[in-house]
Chain A
Amino acid sequence: MSNPQWQTPEARRRLARRHASERRFKALGLGAIVLSMAFLVLLLVIMLKNGLGGLDWSFLTGSDSTSPDMAGVWGAAKGSLLTMFVTLVLAFPMGVLAAIYLEEFAPKNKWIDLVEVSINNLAAVPSIIFGLLGLAVFINTLHLPRSSPVVGGLTLALMTMPVIVISGRNAIKAVPPSIREAAYGIGASKVQTTFHHVLPLALPGILTGTIIGMARALGETAPLLMIGMRAFVATPPGGITDPSSVLPMQIFLWSDEIDKGFVQNTSAAIIVLLVFLLAMNGLAIYLRNKFEVRW
């Protein structure tokens, strides 16, 4: 038996075919990743090529204008900051408290199931639906000032809260029971255990989730379109009830302009927005790596 069955020419051919198919499959996988990343690179390169020339000090400090040379992003950026402030002040405490309740205290009953189901669904509801809610409730029922950061912030807070709740619950769940038992063991009450021991340990995880949720809110346009934050605002807003625009909305408005000069402005505004988002995501990753404890 010097020539076993697996050494026949036919078997060798079959083996070669299978190995070739293996290589093809692997190349296909790598190709998919490379293609996806090529899109990313193409997008970034085009934005940089079009927009880098428009990034100067007067662009960063100016407000919207009908002439592309005069227009700047500071008005919109300030609107974004005010809106994000309202969102954070509302969504963060509410989200964290709700996460604590659901993870540590909630009894097992139908009501709590309903809360969980609605939180999971809210996280997946299209953002434009939140815009419709904001329009119907905050503007047409409560008569809050149209196109103001306070309405935008409220709407985005409702959208961001489920994200914070979900990441908060995961962070709280990751704190090992031994921490809680040690606290009980020295006589802490349930509330004391949660607020003095579990919450501080879960905080890095919660903050990471919050930053990611806020980054998503910062890039959101559709719901704000619904509540009318598309006004032409030539001066930066002074407070949360003044009419204002936000960065992504400014991008959208400029992209509609016919004047060629606005192509550069739009791309430059996109670069500004992406830098903000990248910084936020970078911070989230840094926090996760620095403070995350592996139990």
Chain B
Amino acid sequence: MILTGILLAVVGLGLVGWFVGRGRARLLYDGRGSMHSMPTYHGWHLALWIVVPALVVWTAWSAIQPGLVEGALMADPVAATLPADAMHRSAILAEAHMLANDPGASVFNAQSQALAAPLRAIVTRFSLIGALLVAIVAFAGGAYGFTRIRARFEARTQVERAVMGVLLLASLIAILTTFGIVASLVFEAGLFFKDVSPIAFLTGTHWSPGNARGADIAENFGAVPLFWGTIYIGAIIAMLVAIPLGLMSAVYLTQYASRSMRKWLKPILEILAGIPTVVYGYFAALTVAPLVRDFAASIGMQNPSTESALAAGLVMGVMIIPFVSSMADDALAAVPRAMSDGSLALGATRSETIKKVLLPAALPGIVAGVMLAISRAIGETMIVVMAAGAAANLSANPFASMTTVTFQIVQLLTGDQEFNSPKTLSAFALGLILFIVTLVLNIIALRVVKRFREAYE
């Protein structure tokens, strides 16, 4: 609590510093060209000198304070009565912290009542020490900043340097995120591969992590059925829907539709891309899956399941249509107009021009778009979670229940099991594979698109 108060106080001090710095600098002004920087920059400079060092100290102190409090509490005579059992001990300590923050809180262990009062005293003591430290640093920084206010002082240059630092930090977050993804996936997957060899994981055809126990653990982690299900649903069924529909929509929109028609049709098509995947999943489970099952029954299948690869793939395909369409749109638009004009001038009809000239010329861009679409489809989660099923089948029957990588990640990580079992770790191994595959697809596709654009520019 006190720490939050300090933070606000520092910001307040910074605001005061801003006005003081600006006011002081204004007094220095005597005539045109007498100062290097505008008074506002002196204000910013002073405010930065107050806030930044104080914030650094504040962050450091909030990081070390819990440890210091813990140490002081253990030295207190009341702490001697704590049980030795680590779990019980930490439960009591947590409750004591709760009580110290809010005396009215309800707790289970009576011992925590005894600890609350000394704990509150200790926390207050250390918070006050922290507040004092922060205040000293803020005033020291402020004093130093204040002494630098001179007519010739280059406050603007200094402030702009600080701004550049902030900008650079912001752009490094993207790298940090990528690094965080790779590090966490590789680390957890590494733990998993200690138990299960990567070869067994990548080539095994039996997947039932629920049975994985003891010596034959590796035999239950064969991920091939998951890869097959992912490819079958995301890259085959979904693409059979999305490529023809998306491509033909793009052709019609770019080549045939009048300007006003295009203005209306394109945004409506894009609504399809804006619908949340959980809605598609529900649509698939509620409407499409029963239709598919009835159809399967009507063509003579025995006991068709409600959860089928076809239902999930069809709906996923619909979701991808606008994506394929807009990629194809871009690719067609990148083909120079002279090429289609030349073909039309030779007497070819529009459709002949499209089929023989435009589409072949735009092919690299379209292929790249399809690759991006596939990468999006195989990473899609909610539709398959709600419509595809949990059974790891290696089958080419579209009416069979099939499972995917993303489905299994969700399955393995929701529910309460201990975090470090091979079962939960295998989800990270699956995530790593998914990440690598989508990354490769994206990089290749982006490179193709780039080269293709350059070729026509």
Contacts and interface: CB of A to CB of B under 8 A. Distances in A.
Nearest to A130: B181
Interface stretch (B7-15, B211-219, B430-438): B430-438
Interface string A220-239: 11100110101000000000
B331 interface: no
Contact of A98 (B167, B285, B318): B167
B74 interface: no
B90 to A, nearest CB: 12
Interface of B: 156, 160, 163-164, 166-168, 170-175, 177-178, 180-181, 184-185, 187-188, 244-249, 251-253, 255-256, 265, 267-269, 271-272, 274-283, 285-287, 318, 321-322, 349-352, 354-355, 372, 375-376, 378-382, 385-386, 406, 409-410, 413-414, 419, 427-428, 431, 434-435, 438-439, 442-443, 446
Contact of B438 (A28, A126, A220): A126
A138 B244 CA distance: 42
Contacts of A215: 274
Given A29-B248, A133-B184, A125 B438 contact: yes
A129 interface: yes
A191 B41 CA distance: 12
A284 to B, nearest CB: 10
A136 B184 contact: yes
B349 A274 contact: no
Consensus secondary structure, chain B interface: helix
B278 A127 contact: no
Contacts of A263: 286
B160 A222 contact: no
A133 B180 contact: yes
B170 A93 contact: yes
B275 A255 contact: no
A144 interface: no
* 4 closest residue pairs by CB, A with B: A126-B379, A219-B276, A29-B252, A32-B248
Interface in A64-82: none
A33 B267 CA distance: 12
A21 interface: yes
A60 interface: no
Interface of A: 18-19, 21-22, 24-26, 28-33, 35-37, 39-40, 42-43, 46-47, 50, 93-95, 97-98, 100-102, 105-106, 114-115, 118-122, 124-130, 132-133, 135-137, 140, 158, 161-162, 165, 189-191, 215-216, 218-222, 225-226, 228, 230, 248-249, 251-252, 255, 263, 266-267, 270, 273-274, 277, 281, 285
A158 B176 CA distance: 10
B274 A125 contact: no
Contact of A106 (B171, B267, B268): B171
A281 B171 contact: no
A185 to B, nearest CB: 18
A128 B413 CA distance: 11
Nearest to A271: B279
Interface centre among B156, B170, B185, B375 (most CB of A within 10 A): B170
Residue among B178, B246, B279, B352 with the highest chain A CB neighbour number at 10 A: B279
Contacts of A106: 171
B160 A189 contact: yes
Given A43-B279, A43-B283, A98 B170 contact: yes
B96 to A, nearest CB: 18
A118 B163 CA distance: 23
Contacts of B272: 36, 39-40
A165 B172 CA distance: 12
Contact of B414 (A121, A161, A225): A225
A30 B379 CA distance: 30
Q: Which of A221, A270, A273 has the most CB of B within 10 A?
A: A221
Contacts of B253: 33
Given A118-B175, A121-B443, 15 more contacts: A29-B251, A29-B255, A35-B245, A36-B318, A43-B283, A94-B170, A120-B442, A124-B372, A132-B428, A165-B174, A191-B163, A222-B277, A225-B385, A248-B276, A255-B281
A121 B175 CA distance: 11
